[in-house]
Amino acid sequence: MKLSKKITILISIIFIIIFSIISGRYFVGKHFEKKFSQRPPPGVIVETVDNSEFFEKIETFGTAVALKTKNYRIKKNQIEDQKIKFGELINKDEIIVVVDGEKIIAPFKGVLGKREIAQGVLGTDSFILTLDDISSVMLDIKVPESYISILKTGLNVNIKSESYQKMFKGVIESVSSRVDPNTRSVLCNIKVSNPDLEIIPGMLLNAEVIYNKVQAIGVSESSILVQGKTNFVYKVLDDNSIEKIEVEVGKRSFGKVMILNGLNIDEKIIKEGISKVRNKMKVKIVN
């Protein structure tokens, strides 16, 4: 067989192999395209774009003190009425206890308590009777001097305690006119609302001083798709198709992200399920 004929046969075989590969890929692609085109649209959870509250905060802590307090030193053997209402709420002008014929009257509404005198102290047959007004409690906090330009009376303060799964509301009543040269901090006095008398004097409380509070368009953090330095969301259109939109984001607060540009109020975006969708496809809203 001549060399030229061998080369021709070899080239023909190569072309046949290439053609077979191209044809195979085409038919396989058509098969999967048909298969996936029959799949139902993925289910997603959407949210409506709305205004949210954003703010910055200063975190610190302090110890609760009663709004008003009164102490009485009582000798145990002089008490005529032994039924003292320890731990109960006493109304103003109510009789607390009778000692040697003398009535002790509550000067204000508060909770009655008892504090023992340490053993070995002169007069240990006595104890301290306490009356605490805890309808509100006071909290002293120390804030770094770098926040002096921010601190002012009237700022709202979120108060939390390890004892309760709830948040109490407070407000700054006063700000010290001096910086402590030892700690480089400023003393602030906070009044904390305590209508259910849950906070008692001596409790350690965590405080978040709220400032720079603004209302702005915000979306859930889970709705943001980050690609490099660019942020996107999937906007849901009227026909349930989606469009990938670039957005400019700002500060974050409580799981919300501020949107500076790219979205308008009342538009719908995908909140959960962005990992299983792609641009221009249709989705099924499941919420």
Contacts of 32 (CB under 8 A, 6+ apart): none
Check which CATH number belongs to the domain holding 146 and give it: 2.40.30.170
**Percentage of the chain with pLDDT > 70?**
90
Summarize the confidence of residues 193-208 as an average pLDDT.
95
pLDDT at 196 over 70: yes
pLDDT at 7 over 80: no
Are 109 and 172 members of one domain? no
Check which CATH number belongs to the domain holding 247 and give it: 2.40.420.20
Are 130 and 141 members of one domain? no
Give the pLDDT score at 166. 92
Residue 37 lies in a domain: no
Helices and strands counted in the chain (H then E): 1, 17
Distances (CA, A) of 125 to 1, 115, 249: 128, 12, 67
pLDDT, tens only, 221-243: 999 999 999 999 999 999 999 99
Residue 115 lies in a domain: yes
Work out the pLDDT band at 248, boundaries 50, 70, 90: very high
Q: Which of 87, 108, 135 is the last residue of a domain?
A: 135
Residue 34 lies in a domain: no
Q: How far is Cα of residue 43 from the mean position of the Cα atoms in its chain?
A: 29
Are 148 and 172 members of one domain? yes
Are 159 and 228 members of one domain? no
Contacts of 75 (CB under 8 A, 6+ apart): 99, 123, 125, 126
Give the pLDDT score at 1. 52
Residue 193 lies in a domain: yes
Check which CATH number belongs to the domain holding 83 and give it: 2.40.50.100
Are 155 and 86 members of one domain? no
Are 47 and 108 members of one domain? no
Q: Which of 214, 229, 257 is the last residue of a domain?
A: 214
Exposure letters 211-233 (e unless 16+ CB within 10 A, then b): eeeeeebbbbeebbbeeeeebbb
Are 141 and 204 members of one domain? yes
Give the pLDDT score at 124. 60
Residue 21 lies in a domain: no
pLDDT at 135 over 60: yes
Residue 181 lies in a domain: yes
C-alpha radius of gyration, the chain, whole number: 36
Work out the pLDDT band at 47, boundaries 50, 70, 90: very high
Residue 228 lies in a domain: yes
Are 127 and 163 members of one domain? no
* Higher per-residue pLDDT: 3 or 103: 103
Give the pLDDT score at 204. 96
Give the pLDDT score at 74. 82
Residue 239 lies in a domain: yes
Give the pLDDT score at 86. 84
pLDDT, tens only, 155-165: 999 999 999 99
pLDDT at 37 over 60: no
Taking the C-alpha atoms of residue 205 and residue 137, their distance in angstroms, rounded to an integer, is: 11
Query: How many distinct structural domains can be found in the chain?
Result: 3
Are 99 and 161 members of one domain? no
Per the structure, the complete domain to which residue 160 belongs is given by 56-63+137-214
pLDDT at 120 over 60: no
Work out the pLDDT band at 262, boundaries 50, 70, 90: very high
Give the pLDDT score at 83. 77
pLDDT, tens only, 167-193: 999 999 999 999 999 999 999 999 999
Are 94 and 146 members of one domain? no
Q: Which of 214, 231, 252 is the last residue of a domain?
A: 214
pLDDT at 121 over 70: no
User: Under DSSP, is residue 276 helix (H, G, I), strand (E, B) or coil?
Assistant: helix
Summarize the confidence of residues 59-68 as an average pLDDT.
94
Are 147 and 158 members of one domain? yes
